[in-house]
């Protein structure tokens, strides 16, 4: 009788396992420490990481720091004690989180830097947009716009940066100005919007359009900054198309501004591909296996893994969005989950 009962329970257990493969096949829990959920990129990163990591067998739990450094530090301490398969970190403060990263790595828990690159200490893996390359793409688009207006690459550009302490904006500026340096007839005025505040960007544009009424193009390093720039241009009596505009992250508000005619180009930050890359390499990250440098296809984008002092680093380029392709669901700003399925890199 006991053998029959045991057999029955064994069969039931096997049936339950077959009916719930997601639980049967889970490779472990990964914690994602997101800096804030106050913008679409961050909320989109949560759903993208959850979706892609589930495809390769991992469960994801997200902790929101509400843009508070001390909260994220506390979260890191709590998660380290739980000994997860890995930690994905988008740091609120690059320097302040360094000791927490080192503590996790010392405890044998691999830390993945997502979107916000930290170069001051080693991590298991870093997945970021090719920000210098975003600057290159933006420069190419600016050259086209100015040539269309003047028949040559000349004119005046107002470049509205993000916070000057953020490598994201500094790298975009570096790439943009490097490519534009070949055109001496272009004057670039660069002003930072401190703390990425949209109101600061609005003030910059309002002031500059008065002191430099001949500005041909406003290039903001994020779409939400362009929203404030539009308000300032409207207040100055400008209409869509009077001043060219570009942004560089691909947020929904940027795509809406393209549809309304205010924005000519949005250079996307490839959110979906950045998340997919983490999932592709998670098995190797957890196993602490070598991640070979080289070129990889990530959701159709050519991405490059390099071995840096801070560990394996993948950079993924962005794409230019304009009125002709603005409705393409592949762009994260359209808020449509990609249908692509990722596989672990062997």
pLDDT at 25: 65
- 47-102 pLDDT per residue, tens: 999 999 999 999 999 999 998 999 999 999 999 999 999 999 999 988 899 999 99
Find the helix or strand (DSSP H, E) in which 25 lies: none
How many whole angstroms separate alpha carbon 286 and alpha carbon 152?
52
CATH number, span 2-128+271-316:
3.40.50.2300
More confident residue, 287 or 340: 287
Which pLDDT score, from 0 to 100, does residue 241 have? 96
> Which of 158-167, 287-296, 327-336 has the highest mean predicted lDDT (pLDDT)?
287-296
Mean pLDDT of 307-333: 95
Query: Residue 79 in contact with residue 31, Cβ under 8 Å?
Result: yes
pLDDT digits 0-9 by tens, 186-221:
999 999 999 899 999 999 999 999 999 999 999 999
Q: How far apart are CA 194 and CA 49, in angstroms?
A: 29
* Mean pLDDT confidence for 277-286: 98
Length of the chain: 346
Give mean pLDDT, residues 251-256.
Answer: 96
- pLDDT confidence tier of residue 15, bands split at 50, 70 and 90: very low
Decide if pLDDT at 312 tops 60.
yes
Contacts of 184 (CB under 8 A, 6+ apart): none
Q: Is the pLDDT of residue 287 over 70?
A: yes
Contact 87, 112 (CB under 8 A): yes
In the predicted structure, residue 14 carries a pLDDT above the cut 50: no
In which band, very low, low, confident or very high, does the pLDDT at 5 lie, cut at 50, 70 and 90?
very low
Domain ranges of the chain: 2-128+271-316, 131-267
Q: Predicted confidence band at 297 (pLDDT cuts at 50, 70, 90)?
A: very high
Q: Which residues pair with 64 in a beta bridge?
A: 34
CATH architecture of 131-267: 3-Layer(aba) Sandwich (3.40)
pLDDT (0 to 100) of residue 40: 85
Q: Do domains 2-128+271-316 and 131-267 have the same CATH topology?
A: yes
Q: Is the pLDDT of residue 316 over 70?
A: yes
Q: What percent of the chain has pLDDT over 90?
A: 83
Place 19 in a pLDDT band, splitting at 50, 70 and 90.
very low
User: 87 and 110 in contact (C-beta within 8 Å)?
Assistant: yes
Mean pLDDT of the chain: 92
Report which of residues 10 and 54 the model is more confident about: 54
Question: Alpha-carbon distance 86 to 79, whole Å?
Answer: 10
pTM equals: 0.81
Q: Tell me, what's the pLDDT at 7?
A: 40
Measure the CA dihedral 24/284/274/80, to 10°: 70
10 versus 57: the higher-pLDDT residue is: 57
pLDDT at 224 over 50: yes
- Could you give the CA distance from residue 344 to residue 346 in angstroms, rounded to a whole number? 6
What are residue 244's DSSP bridge partners?
217
């Amino acid at each position: 009788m006991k053998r029959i009962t045991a057999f029955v329970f064994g069969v039931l257990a096997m049936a339950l396992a077959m009916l719930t493969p997601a639980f049967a096949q889970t490779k472990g829990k990964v914690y994602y420490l997101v800096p804030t959920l106050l913008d679409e990129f961050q909320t989109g990163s949560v759903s993208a990481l959850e979706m892609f990591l589930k495809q390769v067998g991992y469960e994801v739990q997200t902790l929101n720091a509400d843009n508070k450094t001390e909260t994220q530090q506390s979260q890191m301490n709590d998660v380290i004690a739980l000994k997860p398969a890995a930690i994905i970190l988008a740091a609120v403060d690059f320097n302040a989180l360094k000791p927490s990263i080192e503590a996790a790595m010392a405890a044998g828990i691999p830390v993945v830097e997502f979107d916000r690159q930290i170069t001051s200490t080693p991590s298991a893996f870093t997945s970021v947009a090719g920000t210098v390359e975003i600057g290159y793409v933006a420069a190419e688009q600016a050259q086209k716009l100015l040539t269309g207006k003047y028949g040559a690459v000349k004119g005046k550009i107002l470049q509205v940066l993000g916070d000057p302490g953020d490598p994201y904006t500094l790298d975009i500026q570096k790439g943009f100005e490097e490519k534009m340096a070949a055109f001496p007839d272009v004057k670039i005025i660069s002003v930072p919007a401190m703390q990425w505040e949209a109101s600061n960007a609005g003030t910059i544009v309002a002031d500059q359009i008065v002191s430099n009424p001949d500005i041909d193009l406003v290039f903001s390093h994020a779409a939400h900054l362009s929203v404030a720039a539009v308000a300032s241009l409207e207040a100055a009596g400008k209409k869509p198309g009077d001043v060219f505009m570009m942004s560089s992250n691909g947020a929904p508000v940027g795509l809406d501004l393209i549809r309304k005619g205010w924005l000519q180009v949005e250079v996307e930050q490839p959110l979906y591909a950045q998340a997919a890359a983490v999932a592709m390499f998670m098995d190797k990250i957890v196993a602490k296996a070598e991640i070979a440098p080289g070129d990889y296809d990530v959701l159709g984008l050519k991405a490059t893994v390099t071995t840096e002092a801070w560990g394996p680093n993948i950079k993924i380029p962005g794409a230019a969005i304009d009125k002709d392709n603005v409705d393409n669901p592949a762009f994260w700003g359209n808020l449509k989950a990609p249908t692509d399925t990722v596989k672990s890199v062997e």
